[in-house]
Structure formats: structure tokens, C-alpha cells
Amino acid sequence: MDFSAITNGISQGLENWESKLMALPEDTMMNKRNSQDRTIKQIIGHMVDSVSNNTHRIIHLQYQESPFSFPNYATNGNNDRWIAIQDYQNENWENLIQHWKYSHIHLIHVIASVNRDKLDNEWISGSEDGNVKLKDMIIDFLRHFHLHLGEIQELIDK
């Protein structure tokens, strides 16, 4: 299976957004809030958490017994706990953007290196959707990435 559309889409998003994010006025990134009451800094922090969790899932699903149970940090509002505990709102903006960028660059490498024989291995997500195949998780990542960039754009345009 060819994931180049996914990895190219992530790479292009990083290229298009890094300078845009770096140029945001402090008031815009710190104070505008979306429907989940997240600022742009917190959305970027959530994206860092998401890429980190997905990287770990992709790795685990290549060597663990399938189906594999791995915590779903997004259920029961836990993703908001992650944002709060890591205090993304007060993180250095430039450092956060670089962390966002390079963690996604690493994910691109991980996806490109994935063992194609393991793509049907499943993660027991614990959500209503049930088990998720490795290949579906990889395919869905780009949608999730763009979803959050769209939320940021909406806040910028507000």
C-alpha cells in the first residue's frame, strides 16, 4: 500500500503552516478560542499529542499481538487533560511550533517505514468505533491533521 499521498499531505501542511503560525500575533494565538474552548496554542499542543500517540500506536501495532490494546488518550475528555497538564497555553511559541513540525516529520518517516505485512493489525481503541486497523489509522491521520488546521484557520479569520 502506498501512503505517499498521506505523507506528502502532512509535509505540505507543515510547509504551508510553519511560517503562518510563527507570524501569528500573540493575541490571536493566546486568546481566540474554538468551540472546544481551545486556543491556537492548545490546538497545536493537541496536534503534538496526537502525532505522539499515533506514532506509538503505529510502532506497537507492528510487533504486538493483534488486536492490541493501547490507551486512547482522546476518550472521556482525556485529551483536554493532556493539554492542561502539559500547559501548552504557556509554552514558548517557537519551541512548540518546532516540536509540532519535527514530530510530524518523524511520523512521515515512521509511516514510510511501516511493515506492510502488519497493516491489518488492529488497535482496540475503546471507542464506539471498535477496533481500528493500522492502515486505517494511517489513512485517517491526514484528515485529522487538516481538521485541526481548519480549526486554526477559523480562529485566525475570526
Show me where the domains of the chain are located.
4-157
> Is the four-CA dihedral 74, 71, 120, 48 of positive or negative sign?
positive
Helix ranges (H only) for 61-133 are 78-86, 93-112
1-60 pLDDT per residue, tens? 899 999 999 999 999 999 999 999 999 999 998 988 999 999 999 999 999 999 999 999
Q: What local confidence, expressed as pLDDT, does residue 77 receive?
A: 67
- pTM equals 0.94
Looking from the CA of 49 toward its CB, the CA atoms found within 13 Å total 22
Predicted local confidence at residue 120, as pLDDT? 97
- What fold does the segment set 4-157 form as a domain? Four Helix Bundle (Hemerythrin (Met), subunit A) (1.20.120)
Query: Helix (H, G, I), strand (E, B), or coil: what is residue 23?
Result: coil
* The C-alpha cell that represents 7 in the structure block: 505523507
Nine-digit cell at 137? 489509522
> What pLDDT shows up at residue 7?
98
